Structure 1
């Protein structure tokens, strides 16, 4: 198990370039299975979860060639489908939640797809019903081996388009169903579809491969199935979760940072929500600039004077992946704020570590926490902690960089799952961080 040692209390300065988006890359990589032709993908982040999925694709028989930093070629003309029922796949697939998205493409192209019950962050129940109910509506037969915790769907006669109203606007569920539907016979209508930028990117990539998808960017998708898809070249968006992490880091450490090439049009409510905490976020072309907040930052209040409430919601609402960052940033704000995590039930349980550092936080229930900001009149204290998941891990890292003294964070493999060379990039802008 690797560890970070962080000497906090230092201001940072410089430019930082966001990595490619993890959540998009996991979808896009699965889509290469839909064609026999070459697919080239650029700006793939070099992180544990993405590399693990690339390894699964390689074991499945995809020919993979690295063409440069973040640039890969994929050819999926001859797959080893027997790998899907192997012990190796059960081990590899169960450790990566994103592996669920290989099922849709495999079902569409080969009439069958299997997946062990996937893992991922321990942030509460994350149902897979949306995925499999969608496949069943397209004509697949579902089976589940309870003893081996193994899911399977089969459609030996092919898939047929259907109308479906999704029970939840699941991003990975929508992606999986879309990838299955593009090769199904007839029209598929997906209502209450997720419409995050990364899902839009997947749809645009599929259209460039020859798919017929209408309604991209809305929650109503109409897909007319085609006989085959061709190759393409696709570039992954910058990671908006990482961009939000750097905004929070700059505010907490009173640092002046420029985040380069952020794709402003795809940031949604992220800049607006940070401004609710009093943080200055400036647009400079396609760059994002945060000045050093030498005098701190003050939480806004609602028009009626009531306490600020920041909550998550499906796109175009505020992403749940940044609520833990908002919570940490609020610990040094001037004023109080209620953080309401509506979409996941265990994501706020890391606050006990922040309380140990001296933060004033009241955990109301699994979904809500009230934070009374210190206004930098009392610094967080350095401590030793363990990263429970990706987003809590980066939040604890930000807290450690702002705290006085030397902190230790164990289990940083969780952070490496979602952030590329984070210690190297932080050192480049002045952070005192060591990987052990």
Structure 2
């Protein structure tokens, strides 16, 4: 276990360049396994999930040249790869997106243990199994594993998802990219990282139409080629650093090449009295005095932040707004429409002295603006919950400890170094 020691009460100031979005990087890495030709990727972040995938490729026999100082990765999956080494990396949800490429190459893949990422409630694999079966794969399970086989390759299908799942959409596109014929997915996810992933596949030679909408058509091709690709700025990380500046009363300028993703996020920040500006490729958060919840014109309802599949506020960012809600004077209802039980960590807020009410597995009300004190709190295995707890600790004078903060390292490279450069006093320490 890795803990975070935070000596708070310091206004964070300065400039920061965000990293690439892990939710684009990881599926792209999985997609490279569909090609026998060299692939070069730029701005690959040094995060734990990337290291796990690269080790998986090395075990297969792929050529892997990674320079984390420059963020440049050169991959080549040509030659003889070892199917016996195809054990999916554990502790990361993206592992399941290796299955289409393993079926394409070897005709067989197995889930020998549970594939999980953040503990965001129930995260079923059934929609993925439905997709594999729709393309003609055979699925057999027992008490220890799920074995998926497709010795004759995939044939095109039309499929309708129960809900707009990001990873299931990406798995469908991975299967359809080399399937025989034209496939169609209805109720597809359209998050920016899904669009970036589809852009990468298109540059490899995949034929994809409807990207960014709820219906995606894919014409299968025989082979996908090599490509050189540069990842975009992660809008999640941009928003996170803006929130850190706002909650500490500081002024952080964040490079932002994804401004087109921000109109709704800008309005959401404004609900807490935070004004976001975008100018010359940089974004900043400005607060005029203490944080204060903006009252709605409809007097008999609470100010709300609703998180749901894109183009709603992303569920991944809801925790950083919860932190702002704890600090801002007034009441806010937060509604996670994606994950059941993902707000259970709210009990940790009370250790800081925060007032909140967990209404049900999806909704939380904060009664903000109360006096807060330093505390020792424990993060669940959820990336931005750990960050939300850090944000509160950073806004409180005195020393706090975030136990089990290691999920941050799954998405944010050089997290502590970047924060200390902005004026924070924070450090990693090994736990028991």
Q: TM-score range by the shorter chain?
A: over 0.9
Q: What TM-score comes out, normalization by structure 1 length?
A: 0.94
2:330 corresponds in structure 1 to: 335
Whether contact under 8 Å (1:96, 1:118) holds in the other structure is yes
Matched, 1:351 2:346: yes
Name the structure 1 match of 2:427: 434
Query: Is 2:85 aligned against 1:83?
Result: yes
Matched, 1:300 2:294: yes
Give matches, 1:378-393, under 5 Å.
378-389=370-381, 390-393=383-386
Cα deviation for residue 268 of structure 1 reads 5.7
Task: Verify the 8 A CA contact 2:238 2:255 in the aligned structure 1.
Answer: no
Cα distance in 2, alignment partners of residues 394 and 425 from structure 1? 13
1:317 aligns with 312
Question: After the TM superposition, which residues 199-278 of structure 1 pair with which residues of structure 2 at under 5 Å, given as runs?
Answer: 199-267=194-262, 269-278=264-273
SS at match of 2:344: coil
Give the distance between the partners of 2:284 and 2:274, measured in 1 at CA.
11
Alignment of 1:179 onto 2:174: yes
Q: For the aligned residues, what is the CA RMSD?
A: 1.5
Secondary structure at the aligned position of 2:274 is classed as: coil
- Count of aligned residue pairs for this structure pair: 424
Structure 1 moving runs of 4+ over 4 Å: none
Aligned with residue 107 of structure 1, among 100, 103, 108 = 103
Q: How far apart are 1:348 and its partner, in Å?
A: 1.0
Unaligned regions of 5+ residues in structure 1, if any?
none
Q: Tell me which residue corresponds to 2:71.
A: 70
Q: Which residue of 2 aligns with 1:16?
A: 16
- Return 5+ residue gaps in structure 2 as ranges: none
Does residue 127 of structure 2 align to residue 130 of structure 1?
yes
Counterpart CA distance in 1 for 2:416 and 2:139 is 44
SS state at 1:79 partner: coil
Change (3 A) 1:285 1:313: same
Question: How far, CA to CA, are the matches of 2:408 and 2:261 in structure 1?
Answer: 23
Q: Which moved more, 1:297-306 or 1:126-135?
A: 297-306
Question: By how many angstroms is 1:294 displaced?
Answer: 5.0
Residue deviations 1:351-403 (CA, integer Å, cap 9, x gap): 111111111111112211111111xxx44211112221212111111111011
When structure 1 is superposed on structure 2, of 293-302 and 179-188 the one drifting more is 293-302
